[in-house]
Amino acid sequence: MSDLFHQWGTDLVPAASGDVLLAQGSVLSMQRLLRRLLTNLNDYIWQPQYGAGLGGFVGQPVTVDQIAAVIRSQIFKEASVARSPEPVVEVSINSRSEVYVQITYTEAASGQPQILSFSLPSPSSS
């Protein structure tokens, strides 16, 4: 299955043919997972309960365990994430309050390990 290629925070990308670029496989899996984690609750009008809202943690007094728990509560809502082996979620917060996330998971369709890494900016840089 494929879908439009859309990396969070960017525009759609044209393909060499002039059509809109499509994503599939591991790229699609990562894009969907990232979209779920960064979308705020109630922002997706057709599914108000969709999203983890990780961006809302920026500047708030939260721990890495709280952020990791939210990620774990959302990760299996994406069918592309295999339940076994269990995904590994690593979260760190540096001295400037920037949040770094790395998720190591197995893509369900291919059985291949995937690593999704991203950061959330500190309140002063956003």
- pLDDT surpasses 60 at 8: no
Number of domains making up the chain? 1
59 — pLDDT class (breaks 50, 70, 90): confident
Q: Domain containing 118 — which CATH number?
A: 3.10.450.40
Please determine, for residue 13, whether its predicted confidence score (pLDDT) is greater than 70: no
The answer to whether residue 52 is domain-embedded is yes
Helices 64-75 and 25-38: angle between axes, nearest 10 degrees: 130
Is 19 a domain residue? no
Total-model pTM: 0.78
Which segments of the chain are extended strands (E)?
2-4, 22-24, 88-93, 99-106, 113-120
Range of the domain at 79: 26-125
Is 117 inside a domain boundary?
yes
Task: Using DSSP bridges, classify how beta strands 22-24 and 88-93 pair: parallel, antiparallel or unpaired.
Answer: unpaired
Query: Does residue 14 fall inside a structural domain?
Result: no
**pLDDT one-digit tens code per residue, 79-122:** 999 999 999 999 998 888 889 999 999 999 899 999 999 988 76
Question: ∠56-52-38 over CA atoms, to 5°?
Answer: 65
